[in-house]
Structure 1
Amino acid sequence: MLRPGGSYSTSDLSRKSGDIIAEALRHPVTITQRNKPRLVLLNIDDYERLMRRYDARSVGTLETLPGELLNEFEAAVDAYGETDETNR
């Protein structure tokens, strides 16, 4: 998991780009604009790891659901099926 890094403004990025890039090589760095997070700089290894985790073919499928969560989901579906329509 990525650990949180430093936070810098876009002005800081203009003035201290070398230092910020060096930090981003160690861990993700947030860039803010008007005090709101706008960008994240991260090293290529972290980026590639995130991209490998993302697989559009399996996102949100029952196959990718952790077992405990799947059990809770199935129990909720069963409970819903046992209620009569007047209670829905």
Structure 2
Amino acid sequence: MARNDITYSTSDFSRKSGDIIAEALRRPVTITQRSKPRLVILNIEDYERMRQQADARLVGTLETMPDALLDEVENAIEEYAQDDEGVRP
């Protein structure tokens, strides 16, 4: 949860939905249920910004992975396989 988020319970939301929606137009509002965060209400501009940022992420593949990182992954897999072989009876 971000520091500027405001938190309300689900029962607060039932009683004060208009006030909570007005607050969500200014900043994200977290709705909790049994003291656990369950929902976030935010204005459409923030939501659209988050969606655009998510769409801008690049999906990595083995082909696009830097050689040094691929080497580390391969070495880790080989070490794991060797350790696993040594454990078998």
Q: How does 1:1-20 map to 2 (within 5 A)?
A: 4-20=4-20
With over 3 angstroms needed to count, the CA separation of the structure-2 counterparts of 1:86 and 1:47, relative to structure 1, is closer
Provide the residue aligned with 2:60 in structure 1. Answer: 61
Provide the residue aligned with 1:75 in structure 2. Answer: 68
Q: Which residues of structure 2 form unaligned runs of 5+?
A: 83-89
Provide the residue aligned with 2:26 in structure 1. Answer: 26
In the TM superposition, what whole-angstrom CA distance separates every residue of 1:17-47 from its partner, at most 9, and x where no partner exists?
Answer: 1221111001111001111111100000001
In the TM superposition, what whole-angstrom CA distance separates every residue of 1:33-82 from its partner, at most 9, and x where no partner exists?
Answer: 111111100000001111111228x54326xxxxxxx7xx5424335667
How many residues align? The count is 77
Identity of aligned residues (%): 57
**Larger Cα Rg: Structure 1 or Structure 2?**
2
Instruction: Provide the TM-score with structure 1 as the length reference.
Output: 0.64
> Could you say what secondary structure the match of 1:22 adopts?
helix
Kept in 2: contact 1:3–1:28 (CA 8 A): no
With over 3 angstroms needed to count, the CA separation of the structure-2 counterparts of 1:20 and 1:61, relative to structure 1, is same
Instruction: Report the Cα distance in structure 1 between the residues aligned to 2:67 and 2:25, rounded to whole angstroms.
Output: 43
> Could you say what secondary structure the match of 2:37 adopts?
strand
Instruction: Provide the TM-score with structure 2 as the length reference.
Output: 0.63
Q: Which residues of structure 1 form unaligned runs of 5+?
A: 63-69
Instruction: Report the Cα distance in structure 2 between the residues aligned to 1:81 and 1:12, rounded to whole angstroms.
Output: 52
